[in-house]
C-alpha cells in the first residue's frame, strides 16, 4: 500500500471562512476527508497534518521522508521565503509535490516566487481544493512508478 502525507501550512486551518472568494467555502476537514476517500479507492493510505509553525513543517517533512512514499505540501506563505523548508525538502529522498489552491502567479507580486519549487517534484495550483486531488493523484502515480522501479 502506498502511503502519502499531505501537509497543510499556515492559515489553512481557516479554510471555509478565510477569503472564500479566493479559497472557496470548503473546510480543511472536508478536503482531508475527501483525500482519504480518494486514497482508499486507490489503495493509498493518506495522512494529513496542519500547522501554522515553520518549525513543525520542517519536522513533518523530515519525518515524512522516513515514513511515506510521497509528500503533498501546501506551505502557504512560507512557500515564498522559507529556506528552512526548502532545505528540509532537499534533505529527504521522497518526492514532494507543491500545491496551492489559488494561482499564485495571478496574485500579489510577492507570491510569484516559490523558493521551494526547485526542490519539489512539481507544482499544482490554481484549481481550488481540486489542486489537492490532482496532487494526490500525482503522488500515487509517482509512488507506484518508484515501487515498480525498485522491484526491478
Query: Which active-site residues does the annotation give?
Result: 23, 100
DSSP 59-95: HHHHHHHHH-SEEEEE-GGGGGT-HHHHHHHHH-SS-
**Distance between start and end Cα atoms, the chain:** 18
In this structure, what C-alpha cell is assigned to residue 45? 493510505
Amino acid at each position: 500500500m502506498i502511503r502519502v502525507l499531505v501537509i497543510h501550512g499556515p492559515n489553512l486551518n481557516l479554510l471555509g471562512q478565510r477569503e472564500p472568494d479566493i479559497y472557496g467555502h470548503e473546510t480543511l476537514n472536508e478536503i482531508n476527508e475527501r483525500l482519504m476517500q480518494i486514497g482508499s479507492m486507490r489503495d493509498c493510505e493518506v495522512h494529513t497534518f496542519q500547522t501554522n509553525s515553520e518549525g513543525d513543517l520542517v519536522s513533518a517533512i523530515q519525518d515524512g521522508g522516513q515514513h511515506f512514499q510521497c509528500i503533498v505540501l501546501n506551505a502557504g506563505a512560507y512557500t515564498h521565503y522559507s529556506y528552512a523548508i526548502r532545505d528540509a525538502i532537499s534533505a529527504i529522498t521522497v518526492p514532494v509535490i507543491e500545491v496551492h489552491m489559488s494561482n499564485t502567479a495571478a496574485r500579489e507580486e510577492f507570491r510569484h516566487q516559490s523558493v521551494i519549487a526547485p526542490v519539489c517534484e512539481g507544482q499544482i495550483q490554481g484549481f481550488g481544493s481540486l489542486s489537492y486531488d490532482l496532487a494526490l493523484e500525482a503522488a500515487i502515480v509517482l509512488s507506484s512508478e518508484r515501487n515498480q522501479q525498485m522491484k526491478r
